[in-house]
Structure 1
Amino acid sequence: MSSLNHAHTNMVIQQVRPSEVLNDTVLAVMSDVARADFVDEDSVGMAYADTMLTIAYEQCMLTPILEGRFLQALDLTPETNVLEIGTGSGYFTALLAKLSNHVISVEYYADLSELAAKRLAKADIRNVTLTVGDASQGWPLVERVDTIVITAACAQIPDDYLQSLKVGGKLLIVTGTAPAMSVQLITRMNEREWQPKFLFETVIPYMINGEPIQQFEF
Structure 2
Amino acid sequence: MALPMNAQVDPRDVHAQARFNMIEQQVRPWNVLDESVLELMGQIHREDFVPPEYQSMAYMDLEIPLKGTAEEAAKQGWHMLAPKIEARMLQDVQLKPSDRVLEIGSGSGYMAALLAAQAKEVVTMEIDPELAEMARENLLSAGVKNVEVKLANGATASLAQGTFDVIVLSGSVAEIPEALYAQLNEGGRIAAIVGHMPVMRFTLVTKNGNSFEVKKPWDIAASRLVGFEEPSRFSF
* TM superposition score category, shorter chain reference: over 0.9
The answer to whether the 8 Å contact 1:174/1:183 transfers is: yes
Q: 1:171 aligns with which of 176, 180, 190?
A: 190
SS in 1 for 2:175: coil
Shift of 1:133: 1.3
Greater Cα shift, 21-30 or 149-158? 149-158
- 2-structure distance, mates of 1:141, 1:196: 25
2:81 equivalent to 1:62: yes
Q: Give the alignment partner of residue 50 of structure 2, picking from 27, 36, 39.
A: 39
Unaligned 5+ residue runs, structure 2? 1-11
Change in 2 beyond 3 A, CA 1:170/1:215: closer
1:141 positional shift = 3.7
Which of 102, 117, 125 matches 1:106?
125
Aligned length: 215
34-43 vs 133-142, which deviates more?
A: 133-142
Measured in 1, the distance between the counterparts of 2:105 and 2:202 equals 16
Q: Which residue of 2 aligns with 1:48?
A: 59
Shift of residue 152 of structure 1? 1.4
Corresponding position of 2:9: none
- Letter of the structure 1 residue corresponding to residue 95 of structure 2: L
Identity %: 32
Counterpart amino acid of residue 230 in structure 2: P
Report which stretch shifted further, 30-39 or 127-136: 127-136
State how far apart, in whole Å, the 2-side matches of 1:215 and 1:70 are: 26
Is the partner of 2:48 in helix, strand or coil?
helix
Which 4+ residue blocks in structure 1 deviate beyond 6 angstroms?
none
Judged with a 3 Å threshold, the aligned counterparts in structure 2 of structure 1 residues 162 and 120 are, in CA distance, closer, same or farther, namely same
Which residues in structure 2 correspond to 1:54-133 (within 5 Å)?
54-56=65-67, 58=73, 59-133=78-152
Paired residue type of 2:111: F
Q: Structure 1: any 5+ residue segments left out of the alignment? A: none
Aligned to 1:196: 214
Report the alpha carbon displacement of residue 142 of structure 1 after superposing the two structures with TM: 4.3
Return the TM-score normalized by structure 2. Answer: 0.87
Please tell me the residue identity of whatever aligns with 2:36. T
Residue by residue over 1:144-171, the C-alpha shift from the partner in whole angstroms, topping out at 9 and shown as x without a partner, is 1100000111112101100000011000
1:152–1:207 Cα contact (<8 Å) kept: yes
Counterpart of 2:173 in structure 1: which amino acid? C
Structure 2 residue corresponding to 1:139, chosen from 130, 134, 158 = 158
Distance in 1, matches of 2:200 and 2:233, equals 19
Equivalents in 2 of 1:149, 1:49: separation in Å? Answer: 22
Quick check: 1:82–1:145 contact (8 Å CA) kept in 2?
Answer: yes
Task: Tell me by how many angstroms 1:196 deviates.
Answer: 0.4
Q: Which amino acid aligns with 2:30?
A: S
The aligned residue for residue 26 of structure 1 is 37
Q: Tell me which residue corresponds to 1:209.
A: 227
Residue identity in the other structure for 1:200 = W
The normalised TM-score by structure 1 is: 0.94
Secondary structure (helix, strand or coil) at the match of 1:37 reads helix
Q: Deviations over 1:103-143 (max 9, x none)?
A: 00000011111111111111110000110111224612443
Q: Which moved more, 1:141-150 or 1:156-165?
A: 141-150
Is contact 1:101-1:127 (8 Å) kept? Answer: yes
- The code of the aligned residue for 2:189 comes to K
C-alpha distance 215-179 of structure 1, shift in aligned 2 (>3 A)? closer
